[in-house]
Amino acid sequence: MFWKRKKKDNQAFSFHSQDQRRSFRVTPLPHAPVEICFGGKPVRLQNIGAVGVAFLDDGFQIGDTQVVDLTLPGESQPISAKIEIVDIDTDHVCHCAFLDLDQEFVDTVHRYMLKVQIAEIRQAKTA
């Protein structure tokens, strides 16, 4: 018996050839947004991956850097990282790279990404 699989829309992932970070990332869940303070302004993350984040531009400049604290849902401790804005696209989204990462930071972000993926899969199964 043959059947056609439904096309899966992995909205949690984004991988486009024009993306500056060129890595998988997840969009924080709507009921659990991730916010940071950058340049003295609170910003909500559009997506996060092991090598960077993206958020809406609020008057920032390419090359701006800052140490930020990330409080990821499901993690007991906030994590700190230095980020640099490497691009601001035509949709006014700042694409940032993490700088000087240690393995614990990368593991924490990967753990968060896995939790988001699991939640997306569970939500898709119940829909």
Q: Confirm whether 40 is domain-assigned.
A: yes
pLDDT tens for each residue of 8-48: 444 444 444 344 446 788 999 999 999 999 999 999 999 99
Instruction: Assign residue 100 a region (left: φ > 0; alpha: ψ between -120 and 50; beta: otherwise).
Output: left
Identify whether 16 is part of a domain.
no
Of 7, 101, 9, nearest in space to 53 by CA? 101
| Domain-embedded: residue 106 | yes
- Residue 86 CB-density burial (10 A; 0-12 exposed, 13-18 middle, 19+ buried): middle
Q: Which CATH number is 109's domain given?
A: 2.40.10.220
pLDDT tens digits, 71-111? 999 888 999 999 999 999 999 999 999 999 999 999 999 99
**What is the tally of structural domains in the chain?**
1
Strand, coil or helix: 108: helix
Adjacent-strand bridge partners of 87: 95
Count of alpha carbons within 13 angstroms of residue 61, beta-carbon side:
2
Residue 4 falls within a domain, yes or no?
no
List pLDDT tens digits, range 47-60.
Answer: 999 899 999 999 99
Domain containing residue 85: 25-126
Q: Is residue 120 part of a domain?
A: yes
